[in-house]
Structure formats: structure tokens, C-alpha cells
Amino acid sequence: MKIVSVVGARPEFIQSAPVSRALRKQHQELLVHTGQHYDYLMSQTFFDELGIPAPDYNLEVGSGSHAGQTAEILVRFEEVLLKEKPDCVIVRGDTNSTLAGALAASKLHIPTVHIEAGERSFDRRMPEEINRLVADRLASAFFCVSQTAVRHLAAEGITKNVYWVGDVMLDANLANRPLARQKSTVLSTLGLAPGSYGLVTVHRAANTDDPARLANIVTALSRVGETVIFPVHPRTRGALSRLNVRFGDNVRLIEPVGYFDMMVLEENARIIATDSGGVQREAYFMSKPCLTLRDETEWSETVEAGWNKLVGVDVATIVREWQTFTPPAEQPPIFGDGHAGEKIAEILGNLSLSITPLTR
Ligand code: UD1
Ligand code: UDP
């Protein structure tokens, strides 16, 4: 099978590594980088560390408004599809690259395969919710991270070619953890003892584009009474520079880190607070208590398991939970067995994909 895989943003690079490795054993895969993320620390570092094959195409769309960025990907990706005529297109997750990839392929009658299908926050103000809803309407095969996602698809009438394979982020995590421990010097570079700090990431539009919410996060982190390591996403860097609130001395802002450094920072943190989907799951993989700086989450199983707590952006709640939140001893295996990539490759090899309407 000739497959075109679309990647564009940081988590998509990480997710593509185990899938590409498995796909290329039995299929022909071309990798298309949309260029949505482009800074070295947001893009190339992941290709270098994870040994992701160099993209066959880089559409170099860069940043823009939702419409502008999505439209640029549509136009440039269509050209690739017309030239390469693949049997299917793989998109993952919920970025603008996901949306444009699925839309361009579907209009050319090329079946779309959605990895990380069926996730829902049920908040349509979230750009990612729109992207994943549309991708799931258009896709012909669905690989789900969790059983909850399978249920969400069923509730929307999507039951054909739906597979629970687990999380390819867990594949990447398990495969790279030993290497990360060996290669990363981040703890000594930052002078950190294991268990002596909390790790924070923030990049959701709902937090960065709302000065009141962002100010609350800044105030809360400054009051937790513990060292906070905060690798800052470029979107957040911009938003913080426009904000008239300053962090306390306990908060150390650093550049975004590579995957190995991030794994080591996560593994040695006492607690993690984030609005990232990937980091919420990685906290679970690493058995770290996680506070989610949002009002809802797609990763509800981690909350139900007692390892993730939705704290929103209320200052007192964040400070209290940071100091007291203690997960239970048990951790159910929500995200599969770390072989999602191989399962996807195998299932795809046995599927005959078409654009015909889904069974309802
Ligand atoms: C995107 C995804 C989000 C995902 C996140 C992963 C959408 C709608 N959102 O959000 O789902 O969780 O990626 O990190 O697709 N920028 C740079 N350098 C870069 C990339 C971005 O400076 O290499 C800055 C630009 O100012 C840009 C802003 O960050 O406007 C936002 O980037 P964008 O890709 O639009 O959205 P993310 O917030 O990264
Ligand atoms: N990540 C990283 N360096 C950082 C911040 C995050 O390598 O400085 C990794 C993180 O470990 C996870 C992925 O990026 O694997 C998550 O991406 P992000 O938070 O940008 O997006 P989301 O998962 O919310 O879509």
C-alpha cells in the first residue's frame, strides 16, 4: 500500500516515529511535513532524536490564522496528493494539519485514516475539537487510543473500521525512555535533584489568549512553594511578554526542550501541571500526579483513574491541589501495551479502504 502520512506539529512528530517504523516494514510511506511548526526546538530536534525519516515533502506553511494556515496546507497538500496518488492518507490528532490533510484527501477521493480518532472535549470553542470532529466525519478508518474514544465514535454513528490499538505516544515513550536517561543531561544542566520540582507546560489557546486565565496561572505557580520548571511554548512566550504579571523566583522559564530532556524532566518531577494532551498522558505513563489547567479534558480516563485532576485556572485550587493531590496506588492500563504502531500497520495491511458512506 502507498501511504502518505501528514505531520505538522510537535506531538505529531513524536507520534509518527513508532508508526513510520512499523509501516515501513510492509508498506510504502511518504512523510509530508506541513511546516506548521518550524523552529528547531519545535520540529527538527524530534526528527534527530527519534530517528524519524526525513520528510519527503515540507510544505513550509508556517504560522497564520486558522483559516490562513489551513488553507495554505490544503492548497499545497493537494498538489502532493495529485502527484503521488497514494492509496490512503494518515492524519493524526487534532491540529490544523490534521484537518487540512483529511479535507484535501477526501475531496480527491483518497481514503483518510485517523490515528487518535474519537477524542472529544465537547467544547467547540476549542479549535482542536473542530479539527477532530471534521477529521472523524471524513475518515474511513479510525485508530483509537482508548475505549472511551471508541464509545464517542459509536455515539456519533461511526462503528465501521474502528480499532482500539492504544496510544502511539506510549510506544514512543517506552521505546525511548532508556535512551533518554542515557543521553539527557537536563537535570545536571538545570541543577535539579530528582523529585525536587514540579514541571509545567501551557500552550492551549484558551489559556494563552485569555490574559485573565494566563495571569491566574502565573500567580498560582508563583505561590506553590516549590521549584517550577516551565519549558515555554512559543505561543505562550508571546502571550507572557504581553502580560503585566511577573512570575515568582521559584518559577524557572526555559526554552522548549527536546523529547529526551522532556522525558527526563517528566520522569523526575514530583508533580506535573499542564494543559497539553500529550503531557497529561505522559504523566500517566510515568506515574506522576498531574494537574490539568483546563476545565475539561479529552483524557477523562486518567481523571477517573485518580491520577489527573482538572483544576482549571483558579489560583487557590491550583495551589491547594499542587500541595495535596495524591493519586491512588493502582494504575489501570488505559493506553494499551506500547505496540499501537505495529497494530496499526498490520490492520491497515488487511483493510480494504474506500470512501463509501459509513454504516450507521
Ligand atoms: C498547535 C495545535 C495544537 C497542538 C500544538 C502542539 C492547532 C489548531 N493547534 O497549537 O492542537 O496541541 O500545536 O504544540 O493546530 N510558533 C513559533 N514557532 C513554531 C511554531 C509556532 O514561534 O515553530 C508560534 C507562532 O507565533 C504561532 C504560534 O506559536 O502563531 C502558535 O502556533 P500554531 O501551530 O498555530 O498553534 P499551537 O499553539 O502550536
Ligand atoms: N514536549 C517536548 N518538549 C517540550 C514540551 C513538550 O518534547 O518542551 C513533548 C511532550 O513530551 C509531548 C509532546 O511534546 O510528547 C506534547 O506536545 P504539546 O504539548 O505541544 O501538544 P499536545 O500534546 O497538547 O497536542
Report the C-alpha gap between 115 and 113 in whole angstroms.
Answer: 7
Residue-level pLDDT at 359? 47
Residue 297 sits in the same domain as residue 342: no
Residue 240 sits in the same domain as residue 285: yes
Residue-level pLDDT at 357? 53
Residue-level pLDDT at 99? 98
Query: Would you place residue 352 in the very low, low, confident or very high pLDDT band (cuts 50, 70, 90)?
Result: confident
| Nearest atom (ligand 2) to Cα of 259 | 7
277: Cβ below 6 Å to ligand 2? Answer: yes
Q: Give the position of cell 479534558.
A: 297
Residue-level pLDDT at 299? 96
Residue 199 sits in the same domain as residue 297: yes
Residue-level pLDDT at 356? 59
Q: Is the pLDDT of residue 229 over 60?
A: yes
**Spatial CA neighbour of 275 closest among 321, 308, 315:** 308
Among 179, 237, 279, say which to mutate for ligand 2: greatest number of ligand atoms within 8 Å of CB.
279
63: Cβ below 6 Å to ligand 1? Answer: yes
126: Cβ below 6 Å to ligand 1? Answer: no
Ligand number nearest CA of 255 is 2
107 C-alpha vs ligand 2 centroid, how far in Å? 31
Determine the length of the chain. Answer: 360
274 C-alpha vs ligand 2 centroid, how far in Å? 10
Average pLDDT score over the chain = 96
The 10s digit of each residue's pLDDT in 306-351 is 999 999 999 999 999 999 999 999 999 999 999 999 999 999 999 8
Residue-level pLDDT at 135? 98
Sign of CA dihedral 281, 66, 207, 243: positive
Number of structural domains (the chain) is 2
- Say if 74 falls within a structural domain: yes
298: Cβ below 6 Å to ligand 1? Answer: no
Rg value, the chain, Cα: 20
How are the residues of the chain apportioned to helix, strand and coil, as percentages rounded to the nearest 5? 45, 15, 40
Residue 135 sits in the same domain as residue 25: yes
Q: Give me the catalytic one of 37, 114, 203, 233.
A: 203
Nearest CA to ligand 2 atom 19: 276
Over residues 84-107, the mean pLDDT reads 98
Among 173, 201, 257, 284, say which to mutate for ligand 2: greatest number of ligand atoms within 8 Å of CB.
201
Report the C-alpha gap between 52 and 31 in whole angstroms.
Answer: 10
CA distances from 97 to 11, 88, 301, 340 (A): 12, 16, 26, 22
Residue 143 sits in the same domain as residue 12: yes
Neighbours of 29 (CB within 10 A): 22
- Per the DSSP assignment, residues forming a β-bridge with 200 are 273
Residue 149 sits in the same domain as residue 274: no
92: Cβ below 6 Å to ligand 1? Answer: no
Residue-level pLDDT at 360? 41
Sign of CA dihedral 206, 135, 2, 60: negative
165: Cβ below 6 Å to ligand 2? Answer: no
- Say if 173 falls within a structural domain: no
Output 127-136 pairs: Cβ under 8 A, ≥24 positions apart.
127/66, 127/96, 127/205, 128/93, 128/94, 128/95, 129/94, 130/99, 131/94, 131/95, 131/96, 131/98, 131/99, 132/93, 132/94, 132/98, 134/99, 134/102, 134/103, 135/91, 135/94, 135/98, 135/99, 135/102
CA distances from 151 to 56, 98, 120, 148, 228 (A): 35, 21, 10, 5, 37
Ligand number nearest CA of 299 is 2
Residue 230 sits in the same domain as residue 86: no
278: Cβ below 6 Å to ligand 2? Answer: yes
Domain coverage including residue 76: 2-167+337-349
Cell of 210: 485569555
Residue 114 sits in the same domain as residue 226: no
Over residues 283-293, the mean pLDDT reads 98
Query: Would you place residue 143 in the very low, low, confident or very high pLDDT band (cuts 50, 70, 90)?
Result: very high
For position 198, which CATH number holds? 3.40.50.2000
| Nearest atom (ligand 2) to Cα of 172 | 15
Residue 205 sits in the same domain as residue 159: no
Q: What are phi and psi of 113, to 5 degrees?
A: -110, 130
**Spatial CA neighbour of 31 closest among 343, 51, 319, 153:** 51
Residue-level pLDDT at 223? 98
Over residues 139-143, the mean pLDDT reads 97
Query: Of all residues in the chain, what percent carry a pLDDT higher than 70?
Result: 98
Ligand number nearest CA of 256 is 2
- Say if 357 falls within a structural domain: no
Over residues 27-44, the mean pLDDT reads 98
- How many CA atoms lie less than 13 Å away from 130 in the CB half-sphere? 10
- 114 tagged catalytic: no
**Spatial CA neighbour of 134 closest among 164, 105, 165:** 105
Which residues, other chains included, contact 126 with Cβ-Cβ below 8 Å and sequence gap of 6+? 204, 205, 206
**Spatial CA neighbour of 104 closest among 6, 219, 227, 230:** 6
DSSP state of 98: H
Query: Of all residues in the chain, what percent carry a pLDDT higher than 90?
Result: 97
Residue 67 sits in the same domain as residue 103: yes
Over residues 185-189, the mean pLDDT reads 98
Ligand number nearest CA of 168 is 2
Residue 148 sits in the same domain as residue 251: no
Q: What are phi and psi of 337, to 5 degrees?
A: -115, 10
Element (H, E) at 232: none
Over residues 32-52, the mean pLDDT reads 98
| Nearest atom (ligand 1) to Cα of 93 | 11
134: Cβ below 6 Å to ligand 1? Answer: no
Q: Is the pLDDT of residue 358 over 80?
A: no
55: Cβ below 6 Å to ligand 2? Answer: no
353 C-alpha vs ligand 2 centroid, how far in Å? 31
Which residues, other chains included, contact 291 with Cβ-Cβ below 8 Å and sequence gap of 6+? 271, 272, 273, 274, 308, 309, 311, 318, 321, 322, 325
Cell of 318: 491550583
Report the C-alpha gap between 161 and 351 in whole angstroms.
Answer: 8
First to last CA, the chain: 27
Burial status of residue 163 (CB atoms within 10 A of its CB: 0-12, 13-18, 19 or more): middle
The 10s digit of each residue's pLDDT in 106-129 is 999 999 999 999 999 999 999 999
Residue-level pLDDT at 354? 77
95: Cβ below 6 Å to ligand 1? Answer: yes
